[in-house]
C-alpha cells in the first residue's frame, strides 16, 4: 500500500499526540483535547479525525455580548443567550468558533461534501500521489433497489439476500479490476498519474483537511445528519455531530431544539393548524396543499387523525 504524504501520515499524527503539551491562555475544551488527533472509524475504511479547533460555547457568548455593546446583561446565563441566538437566527457569534477535521472518505461522498462551499478544503491529490487500494463496500443491508418515486433514494423493499450478495460481489470485483488496471497503467505503461486515475471508480477512498466555522458546520449537519441524506454521508455527519456535542454542548442542545428537530411552518399551514385547533375538519382537497405537502403536514401534526 502506498504511503500518504508526510502531513497526513500516522507517524506525524502520533508525534502530535505524544509531544509535550504547551501551556496556553486560550480557551479550550477538555472533551476535545481527549479526542484530538484520534481517528474515529466511519464506514469500512474511513475516519473522522479532529486536528484543531478554536473557541467554545463561551466564545459565542463573548462575541454576542461584545456586539450588543452597552446594556448587555452580563448576569444572563450563557445557555439562555445561546438559545436566544439560535432561536432568532443571529448567526455571526457562532462564526467565532472553528473546527478543522482530517477526513478519509469515498470520492462520491467527498463530492457531495464539497457542495458545502463555505469551508476551507485541501484534498489528497491523485495527480501527484498514488491512491491506495481501498474502496467503499456497503454493508449488505444497505444494498437496495432504486426507488420508483424518489430519484435520489432507495426503495423500502428489501432485496432477496442471495441477490444482495451477488450485487456486493460484483461491486467488489469491478473495484479490484479497476485498481489492477490503474496499477498496470502506472507501473507497466508509465502513464501519468493524472490520467491513470481516470479509470478508478468513485468508491475509492480519498482524504482531505476540512476547516469550517460553527455556523456553517451546523448548516452542514442540518442537511447531512438527517434521515433524507444518503446513508454514507450521514454516517460521517453523525460522528461530527457527536464532536459538536462534546465541543459546544449548549450550542448542540440549541441546534437540536431549534434547527435539527424543528420545522418551518408557512402561513397557510399555520391557518390550517388554527382551524384544526378550533375543531374544524380539514380535508386534503380543500387544504390548498399539494399531495407531497399534505403528506408532510399530516405526518408532523397528525391533522388527518383528528
| Phi, psi angles (nearest 5°) of residue 286 | -105, 10
Cα angle 279, 280, 285 (rounded to 5 degrees) comes to 150
Annotated catalytic, 151? no
How many CB atoms within 10 Å of residue 102?
19
The full length of the chain comes to: 306
- Contacting residues for 218 by C-beta, under 8 A, at least 6 apart: 94, 244, 251, 255, 259
How many CB atoms within 10 Å of residue 200?
17
Q: Which residue has the cell 432507495?
A: 154
Spot the catalytic one: 49, 197, 224, 234.
224
- Contacting residues for 14 by C-beta, under 8 A, at least 6 apart: 37
The continuous run of DSSP H or E covering 63 comes out as helix 57-68
Closest to 58 in 3D by CA, of 258, 214, 248, 254: 248
| Phi, psi angles (nearest 5°) of residue 142 | -95, -5
Active site residues: 224
Amino acid at each position: 500500500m502506498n504511503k500518504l504524504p508526510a502531513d497526513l501520515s500516522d507517524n506525524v499524527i502520533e508525534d502530535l499526540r505524544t509531544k509535550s503539551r504547551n501551556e496556553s491562555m486560550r480557551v479550550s475544551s477538555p472533551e476535545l483535547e481527549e479526542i484530538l488527533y484520534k481517528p474515529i472509524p466511519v464506514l469500512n475504511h474511513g475516519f473522522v479525525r479532529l486536528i484543531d479547533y478554536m473557541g467554545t460555547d463561551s466564545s459565542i457568548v463573548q462575541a454576542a455580548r461584545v456586539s450588543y455593546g452597552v446594556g448587555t446583561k452580563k448576569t444572563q446565563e450563557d445557555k439562555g443567550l445561546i438559545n436566544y441566538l439560535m432561536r432568532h437566527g443571529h448567526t455571526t457569534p457562532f462564526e467565532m468558533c472553528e473546527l478543522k477535521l482530517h477526513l478519509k472518505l469515498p470520492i462520491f461522498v467527498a463530492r457531495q461534501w464539497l457542495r458545502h462551499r463555505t469551508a476551507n478544503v485541501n484534498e489528497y491529490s491523485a495527480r501527484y500521489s498514488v491512491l491506495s487500494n481501498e474502496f467503499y463496500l456497503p454493508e449488505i443491508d444497505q444494498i437496495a433497489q432504486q426507488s420508483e418515486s424518489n430519484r435520489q433514494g432507495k426503495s423500502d423493499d428489501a432485496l432477496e439476500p442471495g441477490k444482495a450478495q451477488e450485487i456486493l460481489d460484483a461491486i467488489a470485483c469491478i473495484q479490484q479490476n479497476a485498481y489492477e488496471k490503474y496499477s498496470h497503467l502506472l507501473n507497466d505503461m508509465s502513464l501519468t498519474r493524472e490520467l491513470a486515475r481516470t479509470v478508478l471508480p468513485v468508491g475509492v477512498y480519498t482524504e482531505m483537511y476540512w476547516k469550517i466555522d460553527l455556523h456553517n458546520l451546523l448548516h452542514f449537519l442540518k442537511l447531512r445528519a438527517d434521515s433524507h441524506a444518503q446513508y454514507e454521508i450521514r454516517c460521517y455527519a453523525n460522528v461530527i455531530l457527536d464532536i459538536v456535542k462534546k465541543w459546544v454542548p449548549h450550542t448542540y442542545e440549541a441546534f437540536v431544539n431549534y434547527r435539527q428537530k424543528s420545522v418551518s411552518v408557512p402561513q397557510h399551514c399555520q391557518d390550517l393548524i388554527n382551524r384544526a385547533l378550533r375543531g374544524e375538519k380539514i380535508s386534503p382537497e380543500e387544504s390548498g396543499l399539494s399531495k407531497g405537502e399534505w403528506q408532510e403536514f399530516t405526518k408532523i401534526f397528525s391533522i388527518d387523525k383528528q
